[in-house]
Structure formats: structure tokens, C-alpha cells
């Protein structure tokens, strides 16, 4: 796993060496084991690489790397898990290799068949830049599901790229103005969804994206589309037999995990008390003795440390639990925003950062269970969406709106009682909120309902009025109008929430400490398999027990009591800490002078939200989003 960076254009002359060196230095955290750079002064091309050595630790794995023919130059970040098979085929066709790494395999394959024919043959996570010396063309490519990041910036006659936004900061021609739509989307969704970035001058290459740049002309397309994968899978007869589905799942997962065990450095796994990481660990245990890691928060309702330890004991793996205390949070919380190249307000970023730091003391590679919820129906909104859609069909539009009106007009005391009975209601107060949201589901269309379900708030109230209504349109459920509502939500989550939030969080937290995290549940064959399953094999008949087929497979390795636990989020008790030991720290960040200087936030709205949170404990997400925004802006100014 590595950091890549580059700059092509007329102004990328030898005199720009100071700028390019700063670009390369900005990627040092992603590749602590070495660096390399290649320049073609005549063509105005500079390509850099920071290396985290995982496969082929010798100099044969050094990058940027030249293809056997000398035509291509590669700067590559990722792992291609089927590269041994590809290498054997290439060797049979006469290719001679100097080392044992997947970068060399990738280059040899491209040399033989070209980049567009090579990409569909790859099974892995990757983002890479390829310079074609013969055609004077730059190619940028990203893996199917966006596990590895890639951003780029353009100007007349120029293009630059990097693994994250930090690598583009040194460029004098980068447009640093804020993108109003991306800013508003950050306050809606806690991150800035692709393809926009929070600054106007940079864009993210979408998952499955392929960019071509030549002589200042750029084209951006897709070498793989999730829509095509869904359509192909659903054209087949859906599988509704649980036993058959479990057998196929076991074969696919076992093969995916086996492929991802390839490593020349120590390897472990993240293990929570949940289904997904337990499945990955169980599959690893078939072939090796992994070290597993979890993070816990003593006294918190979200503490899964004991459950993870019990799972580890039953699976017979070497387990280490890390405890996150308020003192640990104090030491870490101020640095979390510096890990991210854009503002990022998913509160689980804090425990994820601690988990990665602790694991890195023992291993260089860790497997994680990311993707199980999005692929196999783990979020309650899928189950509720399916039920509500059926009820709306029975009631008709008029009946649905009438029911929504009854729920909305219900006295607060009754709403508290009934809402508290809903799954995940969180008691009377939380249940009342959930009942009001349920009312909007019956009253609104699918797109508005989905955005309401996934957004912290649809119209961010903390923003100044000029910023509040901007939108990028990145979260688009209307494109899946032909799918049932629950499956349409899953499709959007897989294309947006998964890469923009979940995978971004894991990538930045792990690469900040030089740890490579692999996600076998996001093997593209498992995604295709998930779309061939009938809905009842995903969320079944209970919002609490989603991922039915995953649970059935895990039952082969763990007793029932390990499997039938309700879903828990991965988060620290930040709300309690912000009203306790972190209160002074937060108050300093949200000081009136800082709010007035910002120019994006509405100072009055933020001050009101902070006062309400301190007094009642409600509105944590609004406060945290504002804190992370202000911290990111300060970090951005310092790095400039």
C-alpha cells in the first residue's frame, strides 16, 4: 500500500523540483518505507511514489516502475490479489519477471493487452497512474468499489494527481476556493461525496473510474459500473434457497480471504462483536493463526470489547483488546482532523484511528469486515423500507398521506409511548423522533425519504444562508427507480456512502500510520453474488437481524448466542466526553471569534446548538460536524 502523486504540464519543468518534492513529502505517511520519482523534462512529466512495503520487499518492487517494453511508467497504490494467477499466465507467454510483486505483474499485463483490456482482469483494491511514453498520455484508474482513493486537478495544459488532497496542496495553480455544493453535502452527510471535493480545484475519480489525459484534453469515464453489475446479476433467476446460498457464499468468501492473505509482512484482522469481522476472522482461521484487534469503551453502551474477546476465544485466535478512555480521547481527538484531507465528521473515525495505531504495533496488514452491511442488508432502513413500500402500495397515495398526517398530529405523550416501541427507538425521546421520521416516509417520495434517512439533516441549519441550499446531487436514488425501494437504497449506499464515508474513514486512519487494511467482503464477486440473492436472504423478516445469509454461514463457526446479537454501531461515547473532559477543548474551537472568521457557518446557529447540547445532551452530530469543519479549515491553513 502506498501513496502516489504526479504532475504533467508545461510548467512542470526542472525548476519545479521544490514543489514536486513537497507533493511527494505530503504522501510520506502513506508510504513510510521509501520514495521514488521519475521525470521526463522534455514532456513536462513528473511522477512520484511513496512505498509501504508489503509484497516484494526488495528493490525490484521500487516505483515508479517501467514496463518490460519501456513504454509505460507506473505509480501504483493497492494490492492485486489474483496477481499470482495473472503472472503464471504471462510467464507462460514468455514474460520474464525480475521480482515477485503485483506492480510488476500489472505493468506486464498492460504491456501485453493495454490498460482497458487489463482492468477487468484485476481482482483487488487499487488506484494508479500510468504514463504512456509512446502516446504521451496519462491514465488514472481506480478499483471497482473505491477502496483506494485518487484525486486530480486540472488547469489549461496541466493535470496533477495524488492519493489524497494533501498531495495537491503545494501547486500554485490549484483553485482553493470552497465548493459550495460539497460543503453543504459535508454538513448533510458528514463527508463530501465524490466526484466533488470540498475545494473547487480538485475532483475525485469515481469508483471504477478511468481518466485519460493527452495534450491538455481530458476524458473521464468508467471501466466498471455498479449499475451494470446489478443489471447483470438481476437478469438471472434470484436465489431464494438459503442452503444453496450459504454454500456459494462460503466458497466465494473463502477464496476471497485466501487471496488476501498474500503478504511478505505480518498480517492480522480487526474483530468486533459483529457478524462481518467474525466471518472474515473465521475464514482466515482456516488457513492461518491471525492476530486480531478490537477497541472498547468501558461503561459505554457501544462497547463491544467483551463480545469480541469471546468470539476470539471461541475461534482460537490471538486477540488484543485496546481500551479508549477519556484520557486517550483527549490525546487523540485534536489530531483526528489532520488525518483527513477533507472535513470528515463520522464520529467512529476516532476509535478507528486508535484501532489502526494499536494494530500497527504488531502487524503491517489487517483484514476488516467493511461492506457486509451494504452488500447483505445490514442496515435497518432496508428492512423498514421494504415494509413501508408494501404498506404504501396497499394504502395508496391518499391513504399513506392520511396515515402520515395522523402520526404527525399525534400528541407528544402518545408519540413518545408508541415511538418507544419501534425497533431502535432509543426510549421515549428517541422513539418520538423515530415516529415523526416514519411519518415522513409515508408522506414523501422515495428520493426525499432516502435523503432524510441518511443525512444528518437535509438542509444544514448551521450554515450561513448563502451556503445552506447548495447541493451536488451526488446522492441520487432516482437513477434506481426500477428497483424496489430497499434495494435502491442499497445500490446508492454501495456507490456513495460506502466509498465516501466507510472506506474513506478506514483508508485515511490506516494509512496515517502505515497500515494496509484489506476488505474481503468487497471482493467484486461477492457484490455480484449479493445482487443474485432474493431479498429475504438479506434482511429476512426482522430489522434487528439483517444479513440473514451471513448469519447462516457464521453459524457453522460460532454458537447461536454469538450471532443473534442486535446490530451495534462502531462509535466512542464522544457525546458524553464533549460534555465532560473534552468540553473546554470543544468550547475553544467553537469560540465566537473563530465562528465569525469562518464565513461559512452561521455563528448564532452554532452557538445555539452548542448551548443546547451542553444543557441537554441533544444535537451531538451538529456540534461535532461544526468542530470537525473548523479543525479542518485550520489544518488546511497551516499546511498551506
- pLDDT tens-digit readout, 152-198: 999 999 999 999 999 999 999 999 999 999 999 999 999 999 999 99
Give the per-residue pLDDT at 238: 82
Exposed, middle or buried: residue 156 (CB in 10 Å: 0-12, 13-18, 19+)?
exposed
> What are the cell numbers at 128?
494508479
Collect the ranges in the chain with pLDDT lower than 50. 425-429
**Percentage of the residues of the chain whose pLDDT score is greater than 70:** 91
Q: Are 506 and 352 in contact (CB under 8 A)?
A: yes
Give the per-residue pLDDT at 237: 79
Q: Which of 35, 45, 53 is nearest to 9 (CA)?
A: 45
Exposed, middle or buried: residue 112 (CB in 10 Å: 0-12, 13-18, 19+)?
middle
For residue 566, the 8-state DSSP code is P
Strand locations in 424-478 (E): none
Q: Are 626 and 590 in contact (CB under 8 A)?
A: yes
- pLDDT tens-digit readout, 73-87: 999 999 999 999 999
2 noted as active-site residue: yes
Check 2, 12, 191, 356 and give the catalytic one. Answer: 2
- For 125, phi then psi, to 5°, come to -120, 130
- pLDDT tens-digit readout, 307-356: 888 999 999 999 988 887 777 777 778 788 888 999 999 988 988 998 99
Q: At what angle do helices 412-420 and 427-443 cross, to 10 degrees?
A: 100
Burial 325-363 (b: 16+ CB within 10 A, else e): ebebbeebbeebbbbbbbbbbbbbbbbbbbbbbbbbeeb
> What are the cell numbers at 370?
467493511
Give the per-residue pLDDT at 556: 94
Give the per-residue pLDDT at 425: 44
User: Cβ neighbours of residue 610 under 8 Å, at least 6 residues apart?
Assistant: 586, 587, 590, 623, 626
- pLDDT tens-digit readout, 228-287: 999 999 888 788 899 999 999 999 999 999 999 987 788 999 998 889 999 999 999 998
The tally of CA atoms less than 13 A away on the side-chain side of residue 519 is 28
Give the per-residue pLDDT at 640: 54
For residue 567, the 8-state DSSP code is P
For residues 486 and 533, give the distance between their C-alpha atoms in angstroms, rounded to a whole number.
13
- According to DSSP, the β-strands at 365-367 and 516-518 are parallel
Give the per-residue pLDDT at 98: 84
Give the per-residue pLDDT at 427: 43
Amino acid at each position: 500500500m502506498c501513496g502516489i502523486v504526479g504532475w504533467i504540464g508545461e510548467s512542470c519543468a526542472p525548476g519545479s523540483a521544490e514543489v514536486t518534492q513537497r507533493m511527494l513529502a505530503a504522501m510520506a505517511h502513506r508510504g513510510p518505507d521509501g520514495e521514488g520519482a521519475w521525470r521526463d523534462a522534455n514532456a513536462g512529466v513528473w511522477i512520484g511514489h511513496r512505498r509501504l512495503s508489503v509484497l516484494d520487499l526488495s528493490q525490484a518492487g521500487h516505483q515508479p516502475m517501467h514496463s518490460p517494453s519501456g513504454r509505460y511508467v507506473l505509480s501504483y497504490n493497492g494490492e492485486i490479489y489474483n496477481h499470482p494467477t495473472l503472472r503464471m499466465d504471462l510467464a507462460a507467454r514468455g514474460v520474464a519477471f525480475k521480482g515477485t510483486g503485483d506492480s510488476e505483474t500489472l505493468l506486464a499485463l498492460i504491456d501485453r493487452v493495454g490498460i482497458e483490456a487489463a482492468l477487468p482482469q484485476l481482482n483487488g483494491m487499487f488506484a494508479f497512474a500510468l504514463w504512456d511514453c509512446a502516446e504521451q498520455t496519462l491514465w488514472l484508474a481506480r478499483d471497482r468499489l473505491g477502496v483506494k482513493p485518487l484525486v486530480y486537478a486540472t488547469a489549461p495544459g496541466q493535470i496533477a494527481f495524488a492519493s489524497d488532497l494533501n498531495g495537491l496542496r503545494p501547486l500554485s495553480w490549484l483553485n482553493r476556493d470552497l465548493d459550495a455544493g460539497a460543503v453543504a453535502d459535508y454538513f448533510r452527510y458528514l463527508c463530501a461525496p465524490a466526484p466533488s471535493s470540498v475545494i473547487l480545484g480538485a475532483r475525485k475519480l469515481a469508483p471504477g473510474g478511468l481518466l485519460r489525459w493527452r495534450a491538455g484534453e481530458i476524458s473521464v469515464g468508467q471501466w466498471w459500473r455498479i449499475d451494470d453489475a446489478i443489471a447483470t446479476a438481476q437478469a438471472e433467476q434470484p436465489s431464494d434457497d438459503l442452503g444453496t446460498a450459504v454454500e456459494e457464499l462460503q466458497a466465494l468468501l473463502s477464496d476471497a480471504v485466501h487471496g488476501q492473505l498474500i503478504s511478505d509482512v505480518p498480517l492480522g484482522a480487526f474483530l468486533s462483536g459483529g457478524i462481518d469481522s467474525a466471518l472474515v476472522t473465521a475464514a482466515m482461521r482456516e488457513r492461518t493463526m491471525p492476530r486480531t484487534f478490537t477497541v472498547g469503551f468501558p461503561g459505554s453502551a457501544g462497547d463491544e470489547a467483551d463480545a469480541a474477546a469471546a468470539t476470539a476465544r471461541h475461534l482460537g485466535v490471538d486477540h488484543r483488546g485496546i481500551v479508549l478512555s477519556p484520557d486517550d480521547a483527549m490525546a487523540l481527538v485534536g489530531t483526528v482532523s489532520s488525518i483527513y484531507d477533507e472535513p470528515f465528521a463520522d464520529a467512529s473515525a476516532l476509535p478507528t484511528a486508535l484501532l489502526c495505531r494499536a494494530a500497527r504495533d504488531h502487524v503491517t496488514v489487517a483484514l476488516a469486515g467493511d461492506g457486509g452491511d451494504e452488500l447483505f442488508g445490514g442496515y435497518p432502513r432496508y428492512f423498514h423500507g421494504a415494509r413501508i413500500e408494501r404498506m404504501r402500495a396497499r394504502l395508496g397515495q391518499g391513504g399513506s398521506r392520511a396515515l402520515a398526517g395522523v402520526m404527525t398530529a399525534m400528541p407528544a405523550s402518545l408519540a413518545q409511548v408508541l415511538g418507544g416501541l419501534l425497533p431502535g427507538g432509543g426510549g421515549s425521546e428517541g422513539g418520538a423522533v423515530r415516529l415523526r421520521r416514519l411519518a415522513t416516509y409515508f408522506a414523501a417520495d422515495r428520493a426525499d425519504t432516502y435523503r432524510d434517512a441518511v443525512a444528518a439533516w437535509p438542509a444544514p441549519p448551521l450554515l450561513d444562508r448563502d451556503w445552506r441550499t447548495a447541493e451536488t446531487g451526488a446522492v441520487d436514488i432516482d437513477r434506481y427507480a426500477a428497483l424496489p425501494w430497499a434495494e435502491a437504497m442499497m445500490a446508492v449506499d454501495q456507490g456513495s456512502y460506502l466509498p465516501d464515508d466507510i472506506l474513506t474513514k478506514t483508508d485515511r486512519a490506516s494509512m496515517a500510520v502505515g497500515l494496509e487494511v484489506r476488505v474481503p467482503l468487497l471482493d467484486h464477486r461477492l457484490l455480484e453474488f449479493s445482487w443474485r440473492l432474493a431479498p429475504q436472504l438479506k434482511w429476512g423478516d426482522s430489522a434487528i437481524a439483517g444479513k440473514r445469509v451471513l448469519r447462516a454461514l457464521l453459524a457453522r463457526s460460532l454458537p447461536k448466542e454469538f450471532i443473534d446479537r442486535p446490530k451495534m454501531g462502531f462509535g466512542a461515547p464522544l457525546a458524553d466526553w464533549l460534555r465532560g473532559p473534552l468540553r473546554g477543548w470543544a468550547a475553544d474551537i467553537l469560540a465566537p471569534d473563530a465562528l465569525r472568521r469562518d464565513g461559512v457557518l452561521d455563528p448564532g446557529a452554532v452557538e445555539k446548538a452548542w448551548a443546547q447540547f451542553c444543557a441537554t445532551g441533544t444535537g451531538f452530530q451538529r456540534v461535532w460536524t461544526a468542530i470537525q469543519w473548523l479543525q479542518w479549515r485550520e489544518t488546511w491553513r497551516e499546511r498551506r
